[in-house]
Amino acid sequence: MLFDNKLFLLQIAVIIGFSHLVAALFRRFGQPKVVGEMAAGIALGPTLFGLFAPHSFHALFPPASLGYLNALSQAGLTIFIFLVGVRVDFAELRHQSRIAFVTSNVSVILPLLMGLGVAQYIFPRYGTGSPLAFALFIGTAMSVTAFPVLARILMERNLLTTRLGSVAIACAAVDDMTAWILLAVIVAMTKHDPHAQSLPSMMVYIAVYLVVAFILRWALEVWAKRFNDRKIPLDSILVFVVLALVSGAVGEQLGVHALVGAFIAGLVTPRRFREQLVDKLEAVTLIILMPLFFALTGIRTNFIFNAGAGMYFDFFLILLVAVASKWGGAAIGARAMGMGWREASQLGLLMNTRGLVGLVVLNVGLDLGILSPQLFSMMVAMALVTTFMATPLMDVFAAKKAGKPVAVPERVKAVSG
């Protein structure tokens, strides 16, 4: 299909306009905007719009046209995650490094182990191929965190530079990097691809990458000193955008996703440039590109599940294991390191959002034939439920802190509303 500029502009306008309306509606029910945008995508996709008005749906979103929207949203995602890295407060993070280290490990290992366990039970009914690859895959899908969703929630609630936010972002970065590495291992196991990277060589490349990033951080800090007592030129934005894009591409090449690369580029950026980068890039990514990214998954996915009667029990089991292991794992880890239990519970809820990263992982599983379509549907439902439950429950835990069991205190309303 030839590129149709008229259709492309119209698609962007419809998606971001409609997402904004749904997000505004969802915020009245205590959901963050990002959840509203995901819901808007589901409504605009084959699940709702495509079901009730198939002709209009195919006219507005012909399959061949979605590639252009996806490209635009991927570029936006890279810049957005880069900005999350730029916003990380190193002082706060260093202060919380022990909590972050322990929590991130527990919040990967517990879901992974419990996923391996539940896989033994569900493999006979839904599994195909290697039981080991299946079990590892379920474990990985349980241990993943929706980095972009979590970052959006933290940003929307002004939590990014707090203790809770710093620990959550650090844990999510570690969890996701681990999950991508596990996914690469599973792909290699399943595909028997002779060109696939071996795990040891992948680890070596990642280590080299991290060392280069560390050196670059030092070099950029030296360079940043030039701007200590003068205005930063606007063109310096270009340097960091190029850094984010290249680092994202390197992340893809290493098998840890552009997300991880872009985040590391953000960490490497001297804090001296933070204000200008956030001021000049964040509005475009938050208002235009991120709604596009979050809605696009819904537009490209059919969420109509063919659930058999016996499947409900299995679904609830999967959901229970997912929530208990991730929420529980993160909360227990953080509590053990001295965080208050309410804050630790909020951290667990944040880590428990599987959202879009979960969907990306699950689609890989479906493509590889590891997941049957029914199990895929159940896992997708699990990813959505864990995402949708996060902020309403976070409000509950925040509310109890103020001694009011039901009413949300003014301070929380002001930040989240």
Please give the residue ranges that form the binding site for a second copy (CB under 8 A).
Answer: 3, 5-10, 12-13, 16-17, 20, 67-68, 70-72, 74-75, 78, 234-235, 237-238, 241-242, 245-246, 248-249, 252-253, 258, 279-281, 283-284, 287-288
User: Within 13 Å, how many C-alpha atoms sit on residue 173's CB side?
Assistant: 24
Give the Cβ contact number of residue 137 at 10 Å. Answer: 29
User: Which of 4, 409, 367, 397 shows the shortest CA–CA distance to 191?
Assistant: 367
Q: Which is nearer to a second copy, 186 or 281 (CB)?
A: 281
Burial tier of 359 (Cβ tally within 10 Å: 0-12, 13-18, 19+): buried
Residue 178's CB: how many other CB atoms inside 10 A? Answer: 20
Question: Tokens for 167?
Answer: 């620990």
Shortest distance (Å) from residue 237 CB to a second copy: 5
Rounded to the nearest whole angstrom, what is the least distance from the CB of residue 272 to a second copy in the complex? Answer: 17
Q: Which of 72/332 has CB closer to a second copy?
A: 72
- Return the structure tokens found at 159: 């939590």
* Cβ closest to a second copy, residue 72 vs residue 394: 72
Residue number with CB closer to a second copy (12 or 384): 12
What gap in Å lies between CA 355 and CA 36, rounded to an integer?
A: 12
Q: Measured from the CB atom, is 92 or 252 closer to a second copy?
A: 252
Kindly state the smallest distance separating residue 49's Cβ from a second copy, in Å: 18
**How far lies 104's CA from each of 86, 101, 107, 344, in Å?**
20, 5, 5, 12
Nearer to a second copy, 2 or 309 (CB): 2
Q: How far apart are CA 143 and CA 151, in angstroms?
A: 17
Cβ of residue 282: shortest distance to a second copy, in angstroms? Answer: 9
Q: Which is nearer to a second copy, 168 or 292 (CB)?
A: 292
Which CB atom, from 71 or from 91, has the smaller least distance to a second copy? 71
The 3-state DSSP class for residue 317 equals helix
Nearest approach, Cβ of residue 125 and a second copy (Å)? 32
For the CB of residue 280, give the shortest distance to a second copy in the complex, in Å.
Answer: 4
**Contacts (Cβ under 8 Å, ≥6 apart) of 246:** 265
Kindly provide the residue ranges of all beta strands, DSSP E only, lying in 74-201, ordered along the sequence. none
CB of 78 to a second copy, least distance (A): 6
User: Nearest to residue 267, comparing CAs of 359, 360, 358, 177?
Assistant: 177
Taking the complex as a whole, how short is the minimal distance between the CB of residue 107 and a second copy, in angstroms? 27
Spatial CA neighbour of 6 closest among 188, 328, 14:
14
